Chain A
């Protein structure tokens, strides 16, 4: 069964304290892995798509990496405005469905 597990469930960081969020997945043939940011009461905002192991994408303080079993979202020197829930989703080959994880709630303290 296709599955996505995100850890930790919640993370509190001091401003400037770098860390990583994990997304472990099992899928029968990966078409793509997607990272989203979601603020409270709003729709998810697309961040990255990763297609194959070894691929990396960067945007400002965020860097996403992919292996055959997991993806990491690295946050370098975070700021309070990076506080949000980060969602990971996978899409299996031959399907249009996404499987979402339950997210990591990130709080960055000033």
Chain B
């Protein structure tokens, strides 16, 4: 089955720790995205990548970093510089930037 996987489903960290969220897709999509979802707000774009070894900042990139070493993988690191990291994180992919995006199941990160 083709799809997008995110792991883990739930993640708990202490303040001051960096944490990496995994996103893998086997849809052979070129474009991948990371969003953050908070209650009462629309999805907000953190980073996106149109091609391997290239990525661009979205609207709320501060305190986050990404890499795109393989077409299938787009991990997101939430650094200690992110002031309010507790949120639901969603990864998405699309055939390229002009087609609909498909989402993974999400990772809920709680930082205390």
Residues of A that sit less than 8 Å from B by CB: 4, 31-32, 34, 36, 41-46, 49, 87, 89, 91, 96-103
Contact = CB atoms under 8 A, between A and B. Distances in A.
B85 interface: no
Contacts, number: 53
Interface of B: 4, 6, 31, 40-45, 48, 50, 58-59, 90, 92, 97-98, 100-106, 108
Given A43-B6, A49-B100, A96-B50, 7 more contacts: A43-B4, A43-B104, A96-B48, A98-B45, A100-B42, A102-B40, A102-B41
Nearest to A47: B100
A97 B108 contact: no
A4 B31 CA distance: 23
Contacts of A89: 43
Given A31-B98, A96-B50, A98-B101, A44 B90 contact: yes
Contacts of A49: 100
A97 B58 contact: yes
